[in-house]
Amino acid sequence: MMQNPHDDPAIARRRRWMGVLAQAPRETLERAWRRFAAPPAFEWLRRPETGLVMTRGRAGGSGRRFNLGELCVTRAAVRLEGGAVGHAYVAGRDGRRAELAALFDALLQQPTLHDELERELIGPLAEAAHAAREDAARKAAATRVEFFTLVRGEDA
Amino acid sequence: MYVSVKGGERAIDNAHRWLAEARRGDPAVAELSLEQIAGQLAGSVDRVMAEGSLYDPELAALAIKQARGDLIEAVFLLRAYRSTLPRFGAAEPLDTAQMAIRRRVSATFKDLPGGQILGPTFDYTHRLLDFQLAAGGAVPPPAERAAEPVAPAMPRVADLLGADGLIEPEAADDGRPVGDLTREPFRFPVDRDVRLQALARGDEGFLLALGYSSQRGYGRNHPFVGELRIGEVAVEFVPEELGFAVEIGTLTVTECQMVNQFKGSAERPAQFTRGYGLVFGHGERKAMSMALVDRALRAGELDEAVQAPAQDEEFVLYHCDNVQATGFVEHLKLPHYVDFQSELEMVRALRAAAGRPAEEPEDA
């Protein structure tokens, strides 16, 4: 039986940081990139390209798949001098954001850089996303409602 | 047959220049930014994304600005833009049970696990115009926050209550390729996947009217809102070059599970049946209408008589797309001089044959 790639811990870690990078604000990625005194050299495997990904739902939420509608997505791929290949698929049409996400995907695969980038970039981005999600969830919780069914006079 | 015309370039250019001036409005008034449209007219943006079948709030805001707020024109612009882009593939199906809930209500089950969450809703407002908004400048107080957030994931009500068989279970995915109406024309009867795709991008007004007609007795099916939920869901995509799923972004979607009365048939026991709605953005009227029409269109499958427009698959699917509809209706205003001339001659000939020549104008 083929091994599910999602069970591989290295792939699980990469999935996580790629997901965080895909949602990162461009300015945060730019700032992190500017912190390199000498920007890492790379070559393009795929220059930023905008296209569509068809999103899907399931009938009833759990049944047969159907096409819901498309999402604008920009992708890019780079190779660092050392050979590490970085990919990005990022919702939206911002080529630079996809470029930076691909670069950091490649850099995070470098053992010499991984821990620092995890600590300085991915960790704070994940925390900010979590905080935003939690803030919305607390607003939602403040609107939780208890409905009471009133008993009619003659039944009381 | 439509015979084309030429000429009129200068008049057309001038008409479009005037349109651009009119679009801008009074230049002494600040111009609208896309951020303002996306941030403060979110209902319009969501509707244009849903019916344009393209999730991109910034592009939808641009389309609305360009269309001067004419939402069907904006949908048309978004569809046209979409046709210029390559498709990278299809995402994994959204898991709405993992939705970050902003709003979630049920009209049928009072005590759901996770609770009823009103969220930012127009419900229970008095629909009185607020003249403080007209004055502008007031910063609303921040939304209240509870100490504890709502649960990060909530089970879908229909799944919870389907377990005892009183609500029909959803048929599992059989692995067949997913039909796509943007690639293949309808072949009736269509499968539910194609039907749901058509409804998800269908015109809200058309589906609202059809759903309403089913409530009023034209294909009645006694609906209840089992659950309506709105929130954010992650989109996962498996790039070919990677071979594993990555999260590429987050969508706001509205999901409606309609629960409907069903007396049973030769094959099925009496149980509640289901209609389903799922749309881009915060669009509960549309999601509810979609669920009503989805259920109405299941009439044949459930051995119900197909008598009403909302139950007629060809009627609904051929007419729910507002870009197609507007194209065919609005083309009538383009020059039809040659068509009309030939019809005119035919009418004259018919009248002559009947012995009633057309009256000639006196100074023709």
Q: Please tell me the least confidently modeled range out of A38-42, B208-212, B252-256, B336-340.
A: B336-340
pLDDT band for A15, please (50, 70, 90 cuts). very high
Is some CB atom of chain B closer than 8 A to the CB atom of A53?
Answer: yes
Of A65, A70, A92, the CB nearest to B82: A70
Residue B91 neighbours by CB under 8 Å, 6+ apart: A53, A54, A55, A56, A71, B235, B236, B237, B248
Of B90, B152, B192, the CB nearest to A59: B192
pLDDT digits (tens, 9 = 90+) for B293-343: 999 999 999 889 999 999 999 999 999 999 999 999 999 999 898 889 999
Q: Does the beta-carbon distance from B172 to A64 stay under 8 Å? A: yes
Domain boundaries, chain B: 9-82, 96-119+149-169+181-325
Work out the percent of chain B whose per-residue pLDDT is above 90. Answer: 79
Closest residue on chain A to B232 (Cα): A133
Closest residue on chain B to A5 (Cα): B244
Residue B14 neighbours by CB under 8 Å, 6+ apart: none
Which of B195, B248, B184, B254 lies closest to B225 in space, CA to CA?
B254
Distances (CA, A) of B4 to B123, B231, B324, B329, B333: 51, 48, 20, 17, 13
| Alpha carbon distance B186, B192 (integer Å) | 12
Mutate to test the interface with B, among A11, A16, A143 (most CBs of B within 10 A): A143
CB distance B140 to B246 below 8 Å = no
Is some CB atom of chain B closer than 8 A to the CB atom of A27?
Answer: no
Distance from CA of B305 to the nearest CA of A (A): 23
Across B82-110, average pLDDT = 96
- Listing DSSP states for B182-193 in one string gives TTS---SSPPHH
Q: Strand B116-117 to strand B87-93: parallel, antiparallel, or no bridges (unpaired)?
A: unpaired
pLDDT digits (tens, 9 = 90+) for B118-171: 999 999 999 999 998 998 888 999 999 999 999 998 888 887 777 677 888 888
Query: What's residue B1's pLDDT?
Result: 59
| Alpha carbon distance B112, B67 (integer Å) | 43
Is some CB atom of chain B closer than 8 A to the CB atom of A65?
Answer: yes
Angle at B245 between CA A96 and CA B241, to 5 degrees: 65
CB interface of A with B, residues 100-129, below 8 Å:
none
Question: What are the tokens at B315?
Answer: 């009627």
pLDDT band for A156, please (50, 70, 90 cuts). very low
- Residue B89, Cβ neighbours under 10 Å: how many? 14
pLDDT band for A112, please (50, 70, 90 cuts). very high
Which of A110, A102, A106 lies closest to A77 in space, CA to CA?
A102
Of B85, B93, B115, the CB nearest to A58: B93
- Quick one: B2 exposed, middle or buried, by C-beta within 10 A (0-12, 13-18, 19+)? exposed
CB distance B157 to B226 below 8 Å = yes
Of B54, B101, B146, the CB nearest to A69: B54
CB distance B290 to B207 below 8 Å = yes
pLDDT band for A1, please (50, 70, 90 cuts). very low
Query: What's residue B342's pLDDT?
Result: 93
Distance from CA of B274 to the nearest CA of A (A): 8
Is some CB atom of chain B closer than 8 A to the CB atom of A46?
Answer: no
pLDDT band for B3, please (50, 70, 90 cuts). low
Q: Does the beta-carbon distance from A90 to B119 stay under 8 Å? A: no
Which of B90, B264, B91, B290 lies closest to B183 in space, CA to CA?
B90
CB distance B223 to B215 below 8 Å = yes
**DSSP for residue A5:** G
pLDDT digits (tens, 9 = 90+) for B80-93: 999 999 999 999 99
Residues in chain B within 8 Å Cβ distance of A72: 54-56, 59, 85
Which of B58, B121, B66, B164 lies closest to B282 in space, CA to CA?
B121
Tell me if residue B216 falls in helix, strand or coil: coil
Q: Where is pLDDT greater, at A82 or A32?
A: A32
